[in-house]
Amino acid sequence: MLIIPTYNERDNIAPLVGRIRSAAGNEPVLFVDDNSPDGTADEIRRIQATDANIHLLARPGKGGYGSACRDAMKKILHENLADYVIQSDADLSHPPELLPRMIDLLKTSPVVIGSRYVAGGGAQNWDVRRRFLSFGANLYARLFTGVPVHDMTAGFVGYQADVLRKINLDEIGSEGYAFLMEMKFNLHRAGASFREFPIIFCEREAGKSKFSRKILLEGMRFPLRALKKRIRQRDSRTG
Ligand SMILES: Nc1nc2c(ncn2[C@@H]2O[C@H](COP(=O)(O)OP(=O)(O)O)[C@@H](O)[C@H]2O)c(=O)[nH]1
Ligand SMILES: [Mg+2]
C-alpha cells in the first residue's frame, strides 16, 4: 500500500493516480490530506468514485508531513491493511514508474530507499549549488547519524510492515524532512537493514513546495541530536 501526504496538491492528484495505475495496476493508495484549502480532498473523492483502491485519511487541519506519514503508517499497521508500506510525495517528484522495482525489492529487503546518491541516481533540473548543498547535507547526516544510507532525506521509501512494528512510531517527533532521517535512524537502531536503488528525483511542476525555514532548521538539528544520542549510549555502555 502506498501512502501519500497531501497539502494543496489538487492539480497533481489525477496525473499522479494515472501514472500509478499505469505502472503498478491496482496497488492501494492511502492519501492523507490535511483539509487543503485548494480542495485536494474533493479531487481525491472524485477519483474514489471510480477507483475502489483509493483511500483517504482526512485530517482537520495542517498537522505536518511527518505526522501525516505516521498516522497513515499506524492505521495500516493497526488495521493490518498491507504487508508493506511505500511512502511517496504527491508532487510527482518520485516517479511512479519505479513502483514495480520498489515492490519487487521489498520482497527481500525490509527497508527499500529510492536514492539520489547511488550510481544511476540524481535530480532533474537542479543547479550545481542545489546539488552541492543536498549532497553535503546528506554526507553530514550520514556521518553524524551513523546510518549506512547515502540518501538520508529520501522520501520515496518502502518498508515491510513487520520492520515498522520494530519501532515506536509515537517516539518519532520530527515534522519536516527530519522525519525521514529520524525514521532511518530509529530503524537502524532497531537492527533493520537497508537497500538503496537509484531514482532520478523530478522537481515539481504544479503546486508549491511547503519547505520552510522551520523545516530546514529541524533538518539541520536532527543529525546533531542523533550524534548526542549515540555518544550518550556509548558512554552508558562503557561507563
Ligand atoms: N498531509 C500533509 N501533507 C503535507 C504537509 N506538508 C507537506 N505535505 C505533502 O508532503 C509532500 C512533500 O512536500 P513538498 O511541499 O513537496 O516538500 P519539498 O519536496 O521538500 O518541497 C507533498 O506531497 C506535500 O503535499 C502537511 O502539513 N500535511
Ligand atoms: Mg516536493
Write the burial class of residue 177 (CB in 10 Å: 0-12 exposed, 13-18 middle, 19+ buried): buried
Domain boundaries, the chain: 2-238
Determine which residue's CA is closest to atom 24 belonging to ligand 1.
Answer: 6
The predicted-structure confidence for 9-55, as pLDDT tens digits, reads as follows 999 999 999 999 999 999 999 999 999 999 999 999 999 999 999 99
> In the 3-class helix/strand/coil scheme, how is 188-239 assigned residue by residue?
HHCCCCEEEEECEECCCCCCCCCCCHHHHHHHHHHHHHHHHHHHHHHHHHHC
> CB of 95 within 8 A of CB of 121?
no
- Ligand 2 centroid – CA 3 distance (Å): 15
Q: What dotted CATH number matches 2-238?
A: 3.90.550.10
- pLDDT attached to residue 14: 98
Backbone angles phi, psi at 145, to 5 degrees: -85, -25
- pLDDT attached to residue 79: 98
- Ligand 2 centroid – CA 239 distance (Å): 44
pTM for the full model? Answer: 0.96
Q: Which of 176, 169, 6 is nearest to 73 (CA)?
A: 169
- Ligand 1 centroid – CA 104 distance (Å): 26
- pLDDT attached to residue 34: 98
Determine which residue's CA is closest to atom 21 belonging to ligand 1.
Answer: 209
Pocket of ligand 1 (CB under 6 A): 5-7, 9, 32-34, 62-65, 68, 89-91, 93, 204, 209-211
Low-confidence ranges of the chain (pLDDT < 70): 239
- pLDDT attached to residue 135: 86
- pLDDT attached to residue 134: 86
What is the atom index within ligand 1 of the atom nearest the CA of 175? 27
What is the atom index within ligand 1 of the atom nearest the CA of 91? 23
Q: Which of 110, 199, 108 is nearest to 153 (CA)?
A: 199
- Ligand 2 centroid – CA 91 distance (Å): 6
- Ligand 1 centroid – CA 38 distance (Å): 14
